[in-house]
């Protein structure tokens, strides 16, 4: 059994929905548009301090699920980055430091909802039920990979959980999220919502603005989430935009725009939940900026020590770790002790290791797959090209 988050509790197991919080932090949602876009919503501070009136939604089940989702992401990233360094897989990108932003936002979705990912949402896909075996097969690009090894690692595709396949281009996925939401509006039954992700760099691209404009005009059920990790490879936030916050960019398009502490998974969940519920009610799009930090390199091909002060990174790594903060919350509530945590770590590490060991031994895709899926059926030129290659290989 190698399903990524197979132990995640199903919300349907709950008989009584947890109470919607009314604590003081929630006055944020009553602020005017400008104040929301300039503010920073937070429920759990760096020391794990919280006001119980703000966290009524987070019972043991949900809290443990959220923590496990982040832990899973961090531990698998560590192992896969090691495999990349050994040359076993071709490429990898960690979510290190951004696990709360990735998992907490997607956790607010229901199973029928759509997720249009950017680069660091694979953990969110697994949290929502993407098969881990299938995800790992894609990293190896082998014959078990449903996408037949056609893209670099970290480009999974999973229609079953409505996890849309991405390209490596920046911001091109944002209009797709809006288009899915327009589709929901046109022929859906009103139960679905689409959440689209991007990084801070993507907000400089034309397609971001085009998409925000479409979403504002059409008032479609889309939640656009920007993980502001403050770095687009080597370009810092100040080199990317003169805007005071990323969130305010949404206001010009008539879109309600929220801003939250992206390393506080409770805050991330609540702003996302607010936006998802609003979209599902038919009250239109929301833009969310999650302020976080890319503690890792951009990808396995990057070396941040060449362009940034890593002492700042250390502050985020050591003092603002989203996992540490959530673990303190669990411990303070008496929901997870040291032994339980160790068992969770051991179970995840073993599953990742065993799955990777299995998948690294699977054959490459068949040669013929190179010409399949260009179109629904091949055409004469493709067959001719494959024939010529096979003839060469047979000599």
Partner 1 sequence: MPTMNIIQAVNNALRIQMAAEPKSIILGEDVGKFGGVFRATSGLYDEFGEERVIDTPLAEAGIIGAAIGMAVYGMRPIPEIQFSDFIFPAFDQIVNELAKFRYRSGGQYPCPVVIRTPVGGGIRGGHYHSQSPEALFIHTPGLKVVIPSNPYDAKGMLLASLRQDDPVLFMEPKKIYRASRGEVPEEDYTVELGKAKVVREGNQVTLIAYGAMVSVIEEAAAKAAEIGISCEVIDLRTLMPFDIETITESVSKNGRAVMVHEAPQTCGFGAEVCTSLYERCMAHLEAPIQRVCGFDTPFPYSLEHEYLPNADRVLGAIRKTLEW
- Catalytic site residues? 294, 298, 307
**Partners of 227 in the β-ladder:** 199, 290
Select 191 or 305, whichever has its Cβ closest to partner 1.
191
Question: How many other CB atoms are found less than 10 A from the CB of residue 144?
Answer: 18
In a 3-state reduction of DSSP, which class is residue 323? helix
Instruction: Name the token pair of 56.
Output: 């009524």
Pairing of strands 222-228, 114-116: unpaired
Select 157 or 203, whichever has its Cβ closest to partner 1.
157
Strand segments (E) across the chain: 114-116, 194-199, 222-228, 231-232, 235-236, 256-261, 286-291
What's 184-238 look like in SS3?
A: HHHHCCCCCCEEEEEECHHHHCHHHHHHHHHHHHHCCCEEEEEEECCEECCEEHH
Smallest gap from Cβ 279 to partner 1, in A, equals: 15
Q: Do residues 312 and 283 lie in contact, with contact meaning Cβ atoms separated by under 8 Å?
A: no
Select 122 or 294, whichever has its Cβ closest to partner 1.
122
Smallest gap from Cβ 92 to partner 1, in A, equals: 18
Interface residue list for partner 1 (CB under 8 A): 114, 116, 145-148, 150-151, 155, 157, 159, 164-165, 167, 169, 172, 174-188, 194, 206-207, 210-211, 213-214, 217-218, 372-376, 379-381
Select 148 or 292, whichever has its Cβ closest to partner 1.
148
Question: How many other CB atoms are found less than 10 A from the CB of residue 239?
Answer: 12
Select 354 or 384, whichever has its Cβ closest to partner 1.
384
Smallest gap from Cβ 217 to partner 1, in A, equals: 6
Smallest gap from Cβ 154 to partner 1, in A, equals: 13
Smallest gap from Cβ 191 to partner 1, in A, equals: 13
**Partners of 198 in the β-ladder:** 226
């Amino acid at each position: 059994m190698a399903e990524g988050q197979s132990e995640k509790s199903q919300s349907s197991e709950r008989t009584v929905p947890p109470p919607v919080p009314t604590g003081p932090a929630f006055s944020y949602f009553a602020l005017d548009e400008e104040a929301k876009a300039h503010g920073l919503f937070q429920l759990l501070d760096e020391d794990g301090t919280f006001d119980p009136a703000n966290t009524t939604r987070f019972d043991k089940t949900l809290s443990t699920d959220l923590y496990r989702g982040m832990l899973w992401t961090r531990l698998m990233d560590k192992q896969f980055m090691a495999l990349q360094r050994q040359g076993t897989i071709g490429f990898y990108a960690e979510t290190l430091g951004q696990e709360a932003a990735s998992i907490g936002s997607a956790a607010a979705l229901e199973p029928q909802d759509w997720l249009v990912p950017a680069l660091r949402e694979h953990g969110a896909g697994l949290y929502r039920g993407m098969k881990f075996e299938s995800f790992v097969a894609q990293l190896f690009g082998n014959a078990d990979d449903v996408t037949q090894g056609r893209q670099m690692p970290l480009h999974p595709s999973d229609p079953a959980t409505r996890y849309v396949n991405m390209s490596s281009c920046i911001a091109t996925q944002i209009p797709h999220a809006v288009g899915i939401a327009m589709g929901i509006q046109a022929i859906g039954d009103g139960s679905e919502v689409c959440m689209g992700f991007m990084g801070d760099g993507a907000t400089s691209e034309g397609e971001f603005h085009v998409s925000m404009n479409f979403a504002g005009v059409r008032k479609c059920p889309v939640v656009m989430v920007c993980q502001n990790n403050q770095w687009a490879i080597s370009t810092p936030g100040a080199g990317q935009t003169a805007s005071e916050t990323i969130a305010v960019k949404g206001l010009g398009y008539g879109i309600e725009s929220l801003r939250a502490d992206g390393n506080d998974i409770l805050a991330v969940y609540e702003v996302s939940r607010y936006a998802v519920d609003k979209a599902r009610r038919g009250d239109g799009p929301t833009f969310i900026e999650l302020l976080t930090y890319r503690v890792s390199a951009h990808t396995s091909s990057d070396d941040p020590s060449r362009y940034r002060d890593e002492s700042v990174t250390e502050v985020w790594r050591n003092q603002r770790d989203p996992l540490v903060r959530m673990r303190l919350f669990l411990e303070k509530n008496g929901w997870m002790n040291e032994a339980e945590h160790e068992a969770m770590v051991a179970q995840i590490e073993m599953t990742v290791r065993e799955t990777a060991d299995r998948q690294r031994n699977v054959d490459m895709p068949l040669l013929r797959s190179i010409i399949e899926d260009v179109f629904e059926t091949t055409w004469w030129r493709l067959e001719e090209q494959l024939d010529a290659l096979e003839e060469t290989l047979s000599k």
